[in-house]
Amino acid sequence: MGASGSGKTSMRSLIFSNNPASLTARLGATIDVEQNHVRFLGDLILNLWDCGGQDAFMDSYLSTQRSTIFQHVGVMIYVFDVETREMNKDLEYYRDCLEGLRQYSSEAAVFLLVHKMDLVREPRLVLFEKKHKELQQASGDVPITVFGTSIYDESLYKAWSNIVHTLIPNAAILTKHLTTFAQACSATEVILFERTTFLVIATSSATARAATSAPVLSTASLPQESASQDDIHQLDPKRYERTSELIKAFKYSCSRVREEFHSLEMELADFTAVLDEMTRNTYVMVIVHDPTIETAAIKLNIRMARRKFEELQGDSIAL
């Protein structure tokens, strides 16, 4: 949902149709409702409704089509144009949409995207915090998750990975088994991607595993050196969405020269990275800092784990 021109169709095209941002200007306005049925993790179907934002359509959604639009909703994504001059009208429609959710899909998660952040001239963080506070106030007691997004950087992949993650029935189980796989590979980090969109499904990092397994100690009881010591492998907090963006761009480049993307191996001085198919619907990226571990061993572990992860995907349909 969102006002006409807020960028809903462009982001849908970028994430689910593999179109680059440079081609989204060719897209026309959405008329009424455009539905996408995206096969996600085997037989799990993501039914995405892109609702036109013209006033006539919005009024129709909130009156005569109310029960159709807001029935059986898993997630509502409302897109706000960061430069809109009609924010009050946007917020009015948004509050009406929340009322529709309360009536027909009270358990639905609500994600708000402050979109077109690339057009902002003032400090982005300051403006985003201001918008976040405004949207929180408009939402009342409804739990919301807010992201600042743009089709020209990795922020869109971060938002949509979080959105899709809430819809996967057994995401916690996938993460648990991914951690077991990461330990078997002696990996610093393992990331599971959905095959078509390259959105992040699950992750397991050595830092998170250490934090989970370590005994709880008060900071005061630790020696000063231990309390301030940084992890030896500093990882960029934007690495997941940045990887999604880069791989999608690489896949598009392959398609332009009529080649198909299958896998990727990188052996650098600091680390080794292997990106390969895990199942019919997923890719896995394994990051290893131990120089004694060969890429062939990592690929062998991936092949041996495929059957188990295929079974886990089957379980996600049954739940």
The per-residue b/e assignment along 285-307, b for 16 or more CB within 10 angstroms, e otherwise, is: bbbbeeeebebeebeebbeebbe
The chain-wide mean pLDDT, for the chain, equals 81
The per-residue b/e assignment along 67-101, b for 16 or more CB within 10 angstroms, e otherwise, is: eebbeebebbbbbbbbebeebeebbebbebbbebb
Q: Which residue has the tokens 């915090």?
A: 129
Candidates 74, 77, 160; CA nearest to 112 is 77
The pLDDT assigned to 229 comes to 37
The pLDDT assigned to 318 comes to 36
User: For residue 282, which phi and psi values (nearest 5 degrees)?
Assistant: -140, 155
Query: What sign has the CA pseudo-torsion 242, 244, 250, 253?
Result: negative
Q: Are 278 and 284 in contact (CB under 8 A)?
A: yes
The pLDDT assigned to 210 comes to 54
Q: Which fold has domain 171-206+239-316?
A: Beta-Lactamase (3.30.450)
Q: What is the CATH number that goes with domain 8-167? A: 3.40.50.300
Taking CA atoms, 279 is separated from 61, 189, 276, in Å, by: 39, 19, 9
The pLDDT assigned to 99 comes to 92
Q: Using the predicted structure, report yes or no on whether residue 43 has a pLDDT greater than 70.
A: no
Give me the DSSP letters along 53-88. -SHHHHHHHTTTTHHHHHTT-SEEEEEEETT-S-HH
**How far apart (Å, rounded) are the C-alpha atoms in residues 132 and 147?**
9
Count of beta carbons in the 10 Å neighbourhood of residue 119:
11
At 220-272, the pLDDT tens digits run 333 333 333 345 456 778 888 888 888 888 888 887 788 888 888 988 888 89
The three-class DSSP label of residue 104 is helix
Judged by average pLDDT, the poorest of 43-47, 63-67, 81-85 is 43-47
The pLDDT assigned to 144 comes to 93
Candidates 38, 14, 18, 25; CA nearest to 256 is 18
Q: Are 155 and 121 in contact (CB under 8 A)?
A: no
The pLDDT assigned to 311 comes to 83
Q: Using the predicted structure, report yes or no on whether residue 11 has a pLDDT greater than 90.
A: no
The pLDDT assigned to 24 comes to 61
> How far does Cα 101 stand from its chain's mean position?
22
At 285-310, the pLDDT tens digits run 999 999 899 999 999 999 999 998 88
Q: Which pTM does this prediction carry?
A: 0.80
At 133-151, the pLDDT tens digits run 999 999 999 999 999 999 8
Structure tokens at 210: 């250490």
Structure tokens at 144: 């919301």
> Which residue ranges does the chain devote to CATH 3.30.450.190?
171-206+239-316
> Which residue ranges does the chain devote to CATH 3.40.50.300?
8-167
